């Protein structure tokens, strides 16, 4: 570790065009940070070498490196596990090592899917990991690699936004087109608006930079919880859809990848540092407002 003296307002952000990355670009800039966003054109993670990543970080001399890039195809990973492992496991490990070598704190995002969902209660950060699909296995590998170099991991869940590809937008479209939609009702979690995630990370950034938030694994999710069916019902009500939202069990909607039944996260640790998100219903209200503003 070189212990470089960096500008406390300078950040490198990998994955600048994703749901969370795009929001982070805006919220961090609004907070006065100078953000160098890295996209695929500048660094193709499928082919990037450790030297490529180290050179990017060294050139910027940031006070913080954030990785918001990810392979997010949960079902696709079942037949493309090698690429999922590369992007979600190997690359974050390389990034964390490069940041540590240059004395810079590093933040990476993981997922509630590293748990099997069998506990029946919200998971604390130190709960046993038991991923049930290839995507989750790759995310666990990333967590382990990041922590081995002293980096920080924020576990997220059920991320949605008013743009991109996600459950909220898919359901909003289906509710407008169909008389009936069938939605899984026996999987529990907390829908998380990408904007609220970015706002929480922006609060966390100076604490990571000055060391007042110790490096480690943390859970970041909003208040409350629901099922996918409950989320769909809330979307229907918010959009004044007259479509019927029919609850079904997971077995009636088979997918290539298994999903945890109850992956609720206990986010009280981050909350004790003044870092948190509002209730998921506020996230939905925000997404509806954003969608209406952009239409």
Give the residue numbers marked as catalytic.
Answer: 135
Supply 203's token pair.
């609060």
Query: How many of the other CB atoms lie within 10 Å of CB of 114?
Result: 27
| Alpha-carbon separation of residue 21 from 25, 85, 89, 171, 195 (angstroms) | 6, 20, 18, 23, 10
The secondary element (H helix, E strand) that includes residue 219 is: strand 217-219
Could you tell me if 243 and 178 are in contact, meaning their C-beta atoms sit under 8 angstroms apart?
yes
- Host H or E run for residue 57: helix 50-60
Per-residue tokens: 21: 């990355």
CA dihedral 271, 272, 274, 278 (to 10 degrees): 20
Yes or no: say if 220 and 203 are a contact pair by the CB < 8 Å rule: no
């Amino acid at each position: 570790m070189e212990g470089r003296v960096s500008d406390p307002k300078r950040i490198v952000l990998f994955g600048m065009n994703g749901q969370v990355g795009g929001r982070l670009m805006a919220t961090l800039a609004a907070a006065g940070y100078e953000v160098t966003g890295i996209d695929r054109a500048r660094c193709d993670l499928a082919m990037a070498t450790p030297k490529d990543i180290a050179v990017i970080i060294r050139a910027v001399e940031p006070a913080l490196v954030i990785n918001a890039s990810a392979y997010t195809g949960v079902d696709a990973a079942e037949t493309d596990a090698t690429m999922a492992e590369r992007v979600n496991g190997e690359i974050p490990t390389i990034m964390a090592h490069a940041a540590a070598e240059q004395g810079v704190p590093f933040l990476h995002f993981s997922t509630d899917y590293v748990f099997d969902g069998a506990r029946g209660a919200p998971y604390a950060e130190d709960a046993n990991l038991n991923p049930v699909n290839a995507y989750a296995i790759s995310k666990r590998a990333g967590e382990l690699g990041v922590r081995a170099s002293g980096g920080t991991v924020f576990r997220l869940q059920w991320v949605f936004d008013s743009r991109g590809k996600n459950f909220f937008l898919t359901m909003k479209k289906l509710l407008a087109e169909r008389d009936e939609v069938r939605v899984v009702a026996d999987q529990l979690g907390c829908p998380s608006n990408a904007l609220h995630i970015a706002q929480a990370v922006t609060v966390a950034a100076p604490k990571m930079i000055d060391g007042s938030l110790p490096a480690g694994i943390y859970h970041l999710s909003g208040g409350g919880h629901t099922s996918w069916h409950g989320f769909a019902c809330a979307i229907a009500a918010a959009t004044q859809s007259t479509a019927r939202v029919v609850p079904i069990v997971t077995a009636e909607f088979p997918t290539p990848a298994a999903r945890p039944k109850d992956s609720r996260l206990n986010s009280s640790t981050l909350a004790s540092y003044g870092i948190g998100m509002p209730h998921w219903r506020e996230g939905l209200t925000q997404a509806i407002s954003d969608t209406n503003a952009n239409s």
